[in-house]
Amino acid sequence: MAREIIMPKAGIDMTEGEIVKWLKKEGDPVEAGEIILEIMTDKTSMEIEAEESGILLKILRHDGETVPIAEVIGYIGEEGEEIVPEEPKVEEPVVQEEPLEKSLTRLEDSYNVIVIGGGPAGYVAAIRAAQHGAKVAIVEKNVFGGTCLNVGCIPTKTYLKNVEIIEGVMMAAERGIVFENTNFKIDMPKVVAHKNSVVRKLTSGVEALLRSNKVDIFKGVAKISKNKDVIVDDSKVIKGDKIILAGGSKVSQIDIPGIENPNILSSDQLLDVTELPETLAVIGGGVIGIEMAQAFSELGSKITVIEMMDRIVPGIDEEASDVLAANLKKKGVKILTSTKITEIKDNKGRVEVITDKGSIIADKALLSVGRRPDLEGIGDVEFELERGKIKVDKFMETSVKGIYAPGDINGIKMLAHVAFRMGEVAADNAVKGNHREIKLHSAPSVVYTLPEVAMVGLTENEAREKYDIRVGRFNFAANGRALASGESSGFVKVIADNKYGEILGVHIVGPAAAEIINQASLLMEMEITVDEVVKTIYGHPTYSEALFEACADVLGEAVHLPKKQK
């Protein structure tokens, strides 16, 4: 029998909801857990997932219509199946049940702050609150450290260090270091084991830090009850004055026929493969996809990157993206941009990715299309959401007073170092009242490829839309340290306001970009102008001199650049 799709009750006080948009048409196949429509109440918007797989047989209520809760809005079933409305159920006498909390184990002590999630935002918030003298509890369902320490920043950088070592060996001969034999092989189980040992040291270190700050640790899945208590594993109740919801994020999925193919791996899964794939298709040319593409390319896999936008890592400066793409192509990485995937098929045990430009057959495919907030901890509380992300104000407080949501869960800037700062701000405000605002204009972003790419502030195109600007640029090919190190690819670009010389953005492709960008962030945070930068004496020879020279070029005063012709 066809199954009903009903207007859900998305909050305690919800009586009706508006259908914003059906994401599927009648006759479309749907998978269990796939998002099929968006709804909105007077306080929040949310995405509705299909409870079962099948065909969307019928849409009864359409976009823009307001529907009472529990009313049938559509049907899912087998293709060609007849729709038979269910008979109305006879109302049973309502038996008053005891409140949920009475059947649970209530902990005696009450906390000043309860933190849900032990990732970068969560554990930093817990420690910060404890430093202020608060009694703090933290709940983590898996391992402390979150995405960054366990399956993100740290594991990928461990792999990329291998790339650095391999490239160093390859360039040794031209530097006069001649190995009798430069052949090597990759022991993937050992690669994975080393990565895991690094992760374990850091995650255990986080837990030790929490204990040293006298933060009480609870393991399990935490959810917030309607009374704003925190319930762990549906069995224990933790009471507190304030809650910091730092649920982090999870891997995003895309709606493509065949995406469930077992040879399609998330970045989490790829980092644990113990057999190197001979060929690897990377679906998504963002930061994670490009980092993993280079890591596995250097280990020996033949890589094809498939990106639907017109360039890889589209969030960075366009010129930086072009230089990065050119370097990857030189190293044998095939990059397909402006390419749309239409279907994925099994091809004799391998995966075939069908695009509007042809097919790519590979042993494995990496699905790398970003991450989305993990809202599991919301529980019974109705928050204001924006496109599936918890909306917060400048104090990191949600629409529900007393509950803060720092880190990936708010989707503002999904970076670990930003989550650290958001966690600090949330803790400060939770303990001492809302007084500290989040400021992110000087937060940098980094792509840890070789060469590294880093940026802070506005891109050149963004700056031109808002300001009258001057742009300075210095190539690492003219930097003594870069030439001596054999790392002369790339540049530093500085974008400054034409009137005052205020630095609006810095973009770096090249050696030590991830380190130099922190200096650029400091310049922006301190509102130091390019005129003030060039009064500073930089050490020589250093990679950082390229930043100095780019600032000087903004003023037309760069000594180590040919004179510009008027």
User: Which residues are catalytic, by number?
Assistant: 540
Helix, strand, or coil (residue 164): helix
Q: How large is the C-alpha radius of gyration of the chain?
A: 27
Q: How far apart are CA 41 and CA 384, in angstroms?
A: 10
Q: Which run of H or of E encompasses 497?
A: strand 491-497
What φ, ψ does residue 457 adopt, rounded to 5°? 80, -150
Residues forming beta bridges with residue 76, ordered by sequence position = 3, 56
Sheet with 54-59, strands from edge to edge, namely 3-6, 72-77, 54-59, 29-30
Give the tokens for residue 517: 């960008």
Q: Which two tokens stand for residue 238?
A: 């933790």
Instruction: Determine the residue type at 477.
Output: A
Neighbours of 224 (CB within 10 A): 21
User: What is the residue-wise DSSP string for 13-74?
Assistant: T--EEEEEEESS-TT-EE-TT-EEEEEE-SS-EEEEE-SS-EEEEEE-S-TT-EEETT-EEE
CA pair distance 398, 380, nearest whole angstrom: 15
Tell me the helices (H) and strands (E) count for the chain, helix number first: 13, 32
Give dist(CA 561, CA 566) in Å, integer: 15
Helix extents (H) in 134-179: 146-151, 153-171
Q: How far apart are CA 77 and CA 29, in angstroms?
A: 10
Strands 66-68 and 16-22: antiparallel
- Name 140's bridge partners: 219
Burial pattern 175-204, b for ≥16 Cβ within 10 A else e, equals eeeeeeeeeeeeebeebbeebeeebeeebe
Token couple for 253: 């999925």
